[in-house]
Chains A and B, each alone.
Chain A
Amino acid sequence: MSQPEGKGSGALQVKFVPDEEVLKHIADDAGIKVRKDKTQLTVSLKTFVKKLENISDDEDQEILEEKNYVAALGICAQDSMGNGSSVSGGEVYSFQTPKRSSKMAELASELAQTPGQSVAPNHSECPEKTAKTPQSSSNKKKEFVSTTPYRLRKRLAAPDPYLESESEYSASCSEEEDEEDQKEVSTVLSGRKTPAKTTAASTPPPRNTLAKKNKESKMSNLVEEYFEAHSSSKVLTSDRTLQKLRKRRLTQQTLCDLLKKAPLAYAAEIKELNQQHESLFSKWMQQLHWGFNILLYGLGSKRDLLEKFRTSVLQDSVHLVVNGYFPSITVRSILNSITEEVLEHIGTFRSPLDQLEFIIKRFKEDSSLELYVLIHNLDSQMLRGERSQQILAQLSSLPSIYLIASIDHINAPLMWDQAKLSLYNWLWYETTTFSPYVEETSYENSLLVQQSGSLALSSLTHVLRSLTLNARGIFRLLAQYQLENKDNPSYPGLSFQDFYQQCREAFLVNSDLTLRAQLTEFRDHKLIRTKRGSDGVEYLLIPVDDSTLTDFLEKEDEDV
């Protein structure tokens, strides 16, 4: 614990230094004119602090107003909303209020504290707290550094003629031009601005602007906040990365094992929930037969529920299960399985539309044909496209095809327009299960950063094994070079000429052309990526992260 603390104090120091020390540093160089700049900076700091207060004052009011607005919007539906849902739209769709990045840690400690008080009174020594402090302070520092100039810039850009000249002035200041230039500017400006060299004279104008700013700010606060959150390129988060955590990355396998060990919380309650949903099975069946299709939504994996539905009700009927979350599922494969497995048709179709037509025709001809289609995650990456939804909708509109599907994504309903909705003829059922999305998230590309890259590694080795010895050598060279440069963050890749040189030296290729042919092969297998630098030179990169690459090289060495 001592180490982070030490780091933290360092961060603290950095935090208090910059404003003055940086300025002093500049002042030494640029002399008197910049002193004015400095005062401006400090004043702007003050305004910033004040503004912060303003914001927090306004925050509540704004939230209130937003709620009113949302309420007004929803007023038509309000009377119909009535008793059922307790959550108003305002809560769900409210605008984002500016969040300090430290709030997350604060909330965490707050949450953590609640039991802490009951368990141990002297909790202040608890590691959680100390873990939190360095983080929040470093965040604060970030915030200050990045925001102040932004504010300053904005204030200077305010539509005030006087200010405009000011801004010219300070702009030239910040450009750190020569004294002569400065004087020229100041002589061009009228007399009031020339005494800007004395700090006393330069202070009042910012105060004026402060007053004006306050008036303005109330009006434009909301707009500003939006753009602050969205357009500013600076993002106020700490720079820490997972690698610094000295944490080995978990592979898919270990992750699964670990999660199996962790007990599922509230198992009893979840089971109860599931039983509630299961009691609806017979109702679902009836409604499916009445020509409706059933759509399940709500938090938690609905896979088990659908499985249960399948095993308990659909055992004796023809049914098709589509795992929408599977990364390589396509509509074509769904249609294929219908035509081949259900209709036992052999042959191919020119387009999915033809196939669909064929299916529709068959089902219309033979009224005894019935098919239940279960789709897990109708809103998955592969199925959410417009065309595939259209096809599925048309499929589901057939009277003898019964569709029961689940969605998870918050914006899933946006997939459908009126026409598709009417084809689908949904009946919505809320089935919140709280059960973990084990299967749905188990495919590697759905995991963010912690993924092991084992898939990439195996594909690498497989592809390379099929290549000639020389080709493998070429790839090795590139990989080694990339690893040597892994600490260089602006490493552009290996330029083609250099690479050619190296390959020649290692007797791997004998001409420019052979190397190019080899590289084309790599590119086709997506083993390398080329990009052109600013100087027009071609750079080669292996788009695999470093750890995977190291593993790969080690394995290669073993093989050799």
Chain B
Amino acid sequence: QQIQEDLNKQLFDNLVSFLRRSHSEFQEKTTEWTCRMKSREIPTAALVLGVNVTDHDLTFRSLSEVLQNNISPYIALLEAKDCTGVKHLMQKLLGQLMNCYIDVDSLEDEDCVQVSQNRIRCSMTSLINWYESVTKKTDSETPRKKRTSSSKHWQSPPVVVIFKDMESFTTKVLQDFIVISSQHIHELPLVLIFGIATSPMIIHSLLPHSVSSLLCIELFQSLSSKEHLLTIIDKLLLTAQFPFKLGEKVLQILINIFLYHDFSVQNFIKGFQLCIVEHFYSQPLSVLCCQLEDAKKRVNSLSHNQCENIRRLPSFRRYVESQVSEKQVALLTTDSYLKEVIQKLLEDLHVYHENYVSVLRCLHVFTSSLPKYPLGKQIRELHCACLENQVWETEEYESSLQLARMLNKSDLVTMLQQCVEIFVSSSGKEFDKTVEKLKEFLTQFQKLEAEAFQEQDVSVSSQKELQKKTDLYHLQKTLLELKESRRSKKLTKFEMLRFEVVDYIDSLVRNYLVPADHKTLHEIAYFNTASVLREHLNAAPRTALHTALNNPYCYLKNQALKSDGGSISNKAPDICIVYKLHLECGRLINLVDWLEAFSTVVTAVEGPNADAASSDQVDDIIHARFIRAVSELELLGFIKPSKQKTDHVARLTWGGC
């Protein structure tokens, strides 16, 4: 299943390109401001990246790539876990710099290898020496180099040191490094970049004033991960090109994990990948989940078994039932006819997706500016709502239409223009008419504007009329008339037009935003088993243990284990009994009491045939079983041996588990 690989690649490409875009601005700024280096101060960029630590790796990688291409070949990426002391830090730094130097011009690599091999003392001086030698070499070789990429670099490119996770560096190391390097800033143009996950204040809390005054810090804010998510959803889910779709529940789960757990785009993508893998693994018809042209070809080569599979799909059955009887027979018996129909249906599905996306965007334009956002602020919320059920039946939709009927003209016009743009840019063929219609609306609005002037004149004239001196009766009469006209004015042309527009949008929604599971053959493209996803991504090992211990019947389908409520059958496995007993204890558990209670339960199961002597002196086998169960509980982390009292164990859990 090669499609899958393609999809994954596409996914990552998207992300990387996006990141690159977001970083181009940084890099521009960096170039500007490295120019005006001040003496004694190390230019420093503080990058605030947000809490989604997992994404940082990717960000930094692309950042260093960009920097390498445009600014300087000398870049070192440092991580806190490698740098426990200044010595380690310098070692790493030198190693990385010299390696990347080799990358740049492989001619001198022999020298460099030698250097790195007999690197005995990694000090700043050696770094400077190295730097000087390197720059000298490049200077002398400039004629030859000019053809290559190095022409882009400056005469003395700065050495960029990136601290990936500023917070986890030990303060001392950082301070020392900064102080040392500030001594050498004249000889060595150094640029630091700090990656910060929390807030920029951390620099000042980590570094004392004397050190931070050596830095010339400029702050950069990276885009929030929510925006990354938005673009990903935009690019992956809301396009017709990408054949694989997520069902409503699955998408909900993925978004929930993102919003409530980690804000990590990478994890979101991982979940998405898992969905793809799972879909292709579990759905035999997923072969058809590819680009339309390929799919049509593949339909032709379907085997009989696969045809049967299609016939078994619930959505297909619904479709068959809606057909006339001869067709039904033909669909269920002849494979070739079935294939034809499937091709048509797939095409329908594709068209549906195309239309769906653009209408969805259009609706989003309308709803996203309404007060209180009845249908959600983000397009993903709207998407979820549309996938879930028929959106026009929901209350939120009603209220948002109500609100839309109260929009003022300028907003309405801009929205309509946006909608026109969306429809024009979309590839759907059916939208020509819609575009026309919308344009018509727009011209009508313009006309209205002209008319409005006239109307104003009319109203002015009526006002003038009013000002004419008349008797009381006449005045009353004219006022009544005015009132009447005002009431009828409620349906001025503008308002009528507004209603029309909203109704039209409504009809569009009803036509095109049908939930996907009403469509025939939606099973091919949509992945809907949310429980699988949750199980694998958001597992609850503690809950599983808890159920296994409390209610073994969940796993061992034996009638003897069946019990109701919180109680447990006394025939349960040993560990369950021991666990149940330990729940009744406080912080410390007396092993003797525990053993006795256990043997009480176990002997009761085996029957009262045991004589008095053996019950006093606990049976060896029961003893052994008890030992095993207790040590299993210890392994599971429920108890630990305690030294407070002899023959006692301490309970480690607090509460019912």
Contact = CB atoms under 8 A, between A and B. Distances in A.
Contacts of A298: 541, 544-545, 548
A229 B648 CA distance: 16
Contacts of A258: 620-621, 623-624
Contact of A104 (B544, B594, B646): B594
A544 interface: no
B592 A240 contact: yes
What is the size category of the interface that chain A forms with chain B? Answer: 35 or more
A546 B357 CA distance: 79
B82 interface: yes
Interface stretch (A198-206, A336-344, A418-426): A418-426
A241 B593 CA distance: 9
B631 interface: yes
Given A131-B615, A266-B573, A434 B636 contact: no
A299 interface: yes
Contacts of A299: 544-545, 548-549, 555, 575, 636
B267 A422 contact: yes
B233 interface: no
Nearest to B653: A410
A1 B612 contact: yes
A327 interface: no
A229 B585 CA distance: 11
A92 B615 contact: no
Contact of A126 (B570, B608, B632): B608
Interface stretch (A24-32, A74-82, A362-370, A495-503): A74-82
A202 to B, nearest CB: 34
B580 A107 contact: yes
Contacts, number: 318
A127 B612 contact: yes
B256 interface: yes
A450 B627 contact: yes
B570 A101 contact: no
Interface in B566-615: 568, 570-571, 573-575, 577, 580-598, 600-601, 603-605, 607-608, 610, 612, 615
A105 interface: yes
A205 B588 CA distance: 36
A127 B610 CA distance: 9
Contact of A96 (B267, B540, B637, B655): B655
A237 B256 contact: no
A407 B542 CA distance: 11
A191 interface: no
Contact of A123 (B253, B549, B608): B608
B264 interface: yes
B266 A131 contact: no
Contact of B605 (A79, A86, A115): A115
A448 B630 contact: yes
B604 A113 contact: yes
B628 A430 contact: no
Contacts of A83: 531
B656 interface: yes
Given A245-B618, A247-B617, A299-B545, A84 B531 contact: yes
B154 interface: no
Interface string A83-100: 111110101111110110
A297 B541 contact: yes
Contact of B601 (A112, A246, A283, A353): A112
B570 to A, nearest CB: 4
B616 A4 contact: yes
A259 interface: yes
B631 A135 contact: no
Contacts of A266: 556, 558, 561, 573
Given A410-B541, A419-B54, A432-B548, A237 B589 contact: yes
Contacts of A390: 81
Interface residues of B, number: 111
Contact of B539 (A86, A259, A430): A430
A250 interface: yes
Interface string A419-463: 101100101111010101100110000111110000000000000
Contacts of A245: 592, 595, 618
Given A116-B604, A297-B544, A101 B635 contact: no
B654 A95 contact: yes
B48 interface: no
A85 B78 CA distance: 43
Contacts of A112: 570, 600-601, 603-605
Nearest to B579: A299
A419 B657 CA distance: 28
A103 interface: yes
Interface stretch (A154-162, A269-277, A507-515, A535-543): A269-277
Interface of B: 52-54, 81-82, 249, 252-253, 256-257, 259-260, 262, 264, 266-267, 270, 273-274, 277, 281, 530-531, 534-549, 552, 555-558, 561, 568, 570-571, 573-575, 577, 580-598, 600-601, 603-605, 607-608, 610, 612, 615-618, 620-621, 623-625, 627-628, 630-632, 634-638, 641, 644-649, 653-657
Given A77-B260, A299-B575, A449-B647, 11 more contacts: A1-B615, A82-B249, A104-B594, A105-B597, A107-B580, A114-B570, A255-B627, A292-B274, A299-B545, A300-B548, A430-B541
9 smallest beta-carbon distances between A and B, as pairs? A112-B604, A428-B539, A108-B597, A299-B548, A422-B54, A258-B624, A297-B541, A269-B556, A103-B584
